[in-house]
Structure 1
Amino acid sequence: MSTTFDVERIRKDFPILSRELPGGRPLIYLDSGNSSQKPVQVIEAMREHMAAHYGNVGRALHVLGSESTEAYEGARDKVAAFIGAPSRDEVVFTKNASEALNLVAYCFGNPVCTDERFAMGPGDEIVITEMEHHSNIVPWQLLAQRTGATLRWFPVTDDGRLDLSGLDEIVTERTKIVSIVHQSNVLGTVNPVAPVLARAREVGALMMLDASQSVPHQKVDVAALGVDFVAFTGHKMVGPSGIGVLWGRRELLEAMPPFLGGGEMIEAVWMDRSTYAPVPHKFEAGTPPIVEAVGLGAAVDYLTAVGMDAIREHELELTAYALGALKEIDGLRLIGPSDLADRGGTISFTLPDIHPHDVGQILDDVFGIAVRVGHHCARPLHLRFGIPATTRVSLYLYNTTAEIDALVRGLHHVKKVFG
């Protein structure tokens, strides 16, 4: 491993990694693509805020209200800097990436929105990909049903790459929005943004990225990417659940109608009408996830201190090691790229005549190895490969080659059990 990346020191920051499971098994956590574990720095930041500073935000002039508001908005500043947002006001806090994606989808075809870029009706088209998480499929299906628009998608190649050979035929003058995953939660593939964005710009379409699997693992600069919207979530980036982020270009956010109505998102209210607060608060109705925002800010601090480039390098080394080690398993079928080019540390596979649920159960019961099994909220992708489910290993900054060796031993055992 990299001599500058001290994974053993990092592991000490994550209390759960030292846990002993029933039967004396050490925990081997290889499921960070599902949800990452939390360092003590995040846990303590949230505990400290609840214990000593908690109050509602934006609603009180007392000390606790001021301290909470400062912490909540301070977290927004940290997230904006972390993703290279041109303005902190372009960072909207949501409860997760799914809500962020739904928020944008809700604005299209909404009669309240008079901006032509969000007009949507019969004859208009929405473009996604075959490798999307359900969170970036279902909102667009609902939009198509609501407006009569047509949903289209890029196919996936046999080696798990996005097939852009029909780019000009799929993204056309009828396309209003292109929304694609930045890094696949099943394949590990990191998708090329530039050619898709260039075509979207050529036809006047907007573009969104689901970056839930990329923001935690590599440096993501929204300004450099040049897209219009980016969604991601806190719990996959060593932060808490219950908070996500929508980044959007300010002029677009200002043109979009509110997604939810209630307190804090208003400017003034009469019985027959309301005016709305400026962005981002226009989209943050009600009491927000205050303590979760504090935790997300602490997570950003933690990842920044470790260094996103160092995390990326560590994960690539782990991924290369894992891809090589898994070749030892006879019959193992890798679902996704077999090399490191444009891929992250998510590795999905099948074993012949053994259901992934059985694989996951034995790995957990015998070896204390936590992996994810199923279709990983990406059923259309599994259908494309003709399989009902996969076993998924997802690596992060706290994983080691020794844990991959344990996985390989575990898979050999699984094959013997079903031998």
Structure 2
Amino acid sequence: MASAAVLWFGENMSAVPLRNSKAAVSDIRTVSVLGATGSIGDSTMDLLRGARDRYQVEALTANSNVQALAKLAKEFGARFAAVADPARLAELKDALAGTRTECGAGESAVIEAAARPADWVMAAVSGAAGLKPALAAVDRGATVALANKECLVCAGDFFMQRAAKAGACILPADSEHNALFQALGSGNREELVRVIITASGGPFRTWAIADIEQATLAQALKHPNWSMGQKITIDSASMMNKGLEVIEASYLFALAPDEIDVLVHPQSIIHGMVEFSDRSVVAQLGAPDMRTPIAHCLGWPDRINGPAAKLDLAKIGQLTFEAPDFDRFPALRLAYDSLRTGRGATTVYNAANEVAVAAFIAGKIRFGAIARLVEATIEAWIRAGNLAPLTSADDAIAVDHNARNKAATLLPQIALKAS
């Protein structure tokens, strides 16, 4: 399997593999999917379904959807299945009675699933709960397809350094970071000028500030291009998701904030671009289908057949671009600010956003208050002198927990200001 002994930005302790590096891949690759019943997990299982002769499933996990997890475990003959909710163990055992699949429940069982001897691991457990399982896969030197933003947003430096030390290989599974990964293969680190992450602009791309402020949940969930979960769709509407991707790109590829640009591209056909010193710009294009970047990670260092629709540029007709508006979408500005601040600020950014989005879904705050709550939480965190380097998963989880509490404390006054 691939090893992070060959690095993209070696001296910067990145565990993203070097351009054009190849590694021997066994005929049968064992895989584990953490978060198998979510949207990313579903796309991954769909790809595995179409290539049964190449992959063998070692472990599958789910948060609480026992029946869907058991169905997948039976279909793929998984050796181990774990549900994060410890109260659902008996139900899982009953659902898998008569099979050879071992069962587990709770955080330790999900970590065990990641630690089992699979060559390739999809890390798609959402939220801070995905950090320790991903690290369990990293620590044994596995190839990890990373779809969990929190691993990098909450603990980026620590996570990538630990991956490099263990000889793990980190493959970006998000469409934008996977696009950058593919485009970066056209040059060397010293030739890099900048990377460009594209953004659809979401459903409020052309809305006025006053209208965005009053947007309803139903309106926020009407993404023009992508079919995603509720939380990420709302993040896309606020462009908070693009801010998280800027932070991820910085840690994944060892980039300074000024080396990362965002470009609004409503058609979502170009997913990422890289500019080099000769002013060549290399882009990755594809239909908006998460199975494409996942297929790239699943087959790496080779390519496999993917089920996504062929790209028909003649039918699309035109591709358009706009500069991002930081006034209408302050969440993007806050991402750059927190990245420059460092020392846990990006962890606070993510935690406060999760509290804010949950409050918006519950009808406690307006859409426009999401970014205000995040900004207020970061400012309060800095004023309290809480900034410090994160050196362990427990550090990151503690900051995440405390930042959520601070955001919850600030929530009533933010809601009051917006009323």
TM-score tier by shorter-chain length is 0.3 to 0.5
Q: Compute the TM-score of the two structures, normalised by the length of structure 2.
A: 0.36
Between the two structures, name the one with larger relative contact order (CA 8 Å, sep ≥ 6): 1
Higher helix share: 2
